Amino acid sequence: MNAIWKSFHAGRYLVEKRVIRHMGSMPNKTTPLSKTQWAAIDKRVRKVDEDRWISSRYAPAAQRQTLTALYALAYELARVRLAVSEETLGLIRFQWWREALNELEAGQPPREHDVCLALAEETGLQNVQIFGQCR
């Protein structure tokens, strides 16, 4: 616990034995996801939604990562209910995702979240209407 507290005050915090930069120090430049990051997303989808993960194995190899990115987004949205203890906190998370997808639609760089980066990279969401005529 003491190591987590010290690293939090140093501008970093520990999550699942990895050091992740805290929001205030994230760089603006985005880079393509590495094979390791894609493997982590794929592993997460396999762990939390094995049926969808198996269905992605039947897709052509060229489209498999796109499905995985979409399934990872579905998981991120579904887990809001499990991750928060108050309704307001859930609404904040949903708003964050709404803004992240709107930013992609507007052609802005993706936010520094592995699923946002995956969506932007694989589906080419930049400069594409996400919500269409729902607005």
Task: Look at the chain and report how many structural domains it folds into.
Answer: 1
What pLDDT is stored for residue 132 in this prediction?
53
Answer yes or no: is 123 within a domain.
yes
What pLDDT is stored for residue 92 in this prediction?
95
Answer yes or no: is 82 within a domain.
yes
User: Which run of H or E residues covers position 116?
Assistant: helix 114-123
Answer yes or no: is 83 within a domain.
yes
Answer yes or no: is 9 within a domain.
no
Nearest to 65 by CA among 123, 110, 111, 126: 123
Answer yes or no: is 97 within a domain.
yes
71 in Cβ contact with 82 (< 8 Å): no
Q: Longest Cα pair distance anywhere in the chain, in angstroms?
A: 51
Whether the full predicted model's pTM is greater than 0.75, yes or no, is no
Answer yes or no: is 67 within a domain.
yes
Mean pLDDT by 10 residues, the chain (135 residues): 40 39 44 87 94 93 90 95 93 95 88 91 58 45
Answer yes or no: is 24 within a domain.
no
Q: Which domain holds residue 74?
A: 32-134
